[in-house]
Amino acid sequence: MEVKARAPGKIILSGEHAVVHGSTAVAASIGLCTYVSLQVPPSNENDDRLTLQLKDMALEFSWPIGRIKEALSSLGGPFPSTPTSCSAESFKLILALIEEQNILEEKISLASGVSAFLWLYTSILGIKPATVVVTSDLPLGSGLGSSAALCVAFSAALLACSDTVNIDMKQEGWLVFGESELELLNKWAFEGEKIIHGKPSGIDNTVSTYGNMIKFRSGNLTRIKSSMPLKMLITNTKVGRNTKALVAGVSERTLRNPDAMSSVFNAVDSISKELANVIQTPASDDLSITAKEEKLEELMEMNHGLLQCMGVSHASIETVLRTTLKYKLASKLTGAGGGGCVLTLLPTLLSGTIVDKVIAELESCGFQCLIAGIGGNGAEICFSASS
């Protein structure tokens, strides 16, 4: 039996940076996913290795089961129904296994993701042989939640193979988890994210698990659902950024200009709340959908202007905005800024010819362009007979 899982990435529609200072923010899932395939060999087969293949990077990690038992048997488990944090001692044991794989120096940043995999695998399924294959639509390190999608997809596939969740394996096609199972999945994915990021907010894995959209403020998350189809052009500037430095820069600007920045954060809060209202309000016909799209365009443009006030834009981002503005399209940065990705709303009635022209012009600047639906399903799984 082969279990496949997929989990979407995420974008911040409104409120990045300001959310750190008490404003509301809105995040949404995107129709770009990470996929995990898990095959556990029959007990009568003489396969005694755990193998992880990262197809997009042409990388493979493989450990004899005996070696994993030798290194990690002290961790106990499996305990699939009890999401558990990886202690510092456990992390050291896992890291020792990874170091044996002789990862190339330029790929060493992958070690945390592989560590998350080993912790989730042994905690949920125990120490047993399997082949796990990962592919993804999501560019790494671009602010689209690739690590959270990876942890959610890992956790979904592993839980589907455990006795913890109640799923009919005979059903065909992609299946969704029940509400209580999604909660368990989200908690495990969060434990994986903690291994990768240290102190994640939990927003990325929550969006990837449940899909649709969430509104969040001061640690409180509210799931919301869009009443209208939304499509975005996501432009990856391929410019790396230091998220911690950008966050610190906004805080320093706030200390220097407390009254002005307070007004900026209040304005962002109003924009996020209005955006959530527009998205949730039913649209009865094409005319009302167009009116709502125009309102969203205004809110996106205002939000980006306020992000410029915070000092988190970048020349590459502004190049994208100038390009899309020529075609009367609204754009804003998403995530930390300083590079990363830019969102451009693609209205329902926009011609494909214009989209093609925009993409051609952006790609000529060296940017990567992706088109995705917004606010779709969260984690899903399917079962098939092993080939």
The residues annotated with a catalytic role in the active site are 204
Angle CA 291–27–296, to nearest 5: 15
Query: Any bridge partners for residue 372, and if so which?
Result: 232
Do 30 and 373 meet the contact criterion of CB atoms below 8 Å apart? Answer: yes
- What is the spatial distance between Cα 147 and Cα 197, in angstroms, rounded to a whole number? 9
- The amino acid sitting at 121 is Y
Angle at 20 (CA atoms; ends 308, 156), nearest 5 degrees: 110
Using CA atoms of 150, 153, 156, 161 in order, give the dihedral in degrees to the nearest 10: -100
And the tokens for 217? 């403020």
Buried/exposed 169-186: b ≥16 CB within 10 Å, e otherwise: eeeeeeebbeeebbebbb
At 154, which amino acid appears? F
What DSSP designation does 162 have?
A: S
| Cα angle value 383/385/387 (rounded, 5°) | 130
Angle between helices 243-256 and 258-280 (to 10 degrees): 120
Closest of 10, 14, 27 to residue 268, by C-alpha: 14
**Rounded to 5 degrees, what are φ and ψ at 315?**
-55, -40
How far is Cα 46 from Cα 12, in angstroms, rounded to an integer? 47
Residue that the structure tokens 């924009």 belong to = 271
- Residue 10's DSSP bridge partners are 29
Phi/psi at 161 (nearest 5 deg)? -90, -10
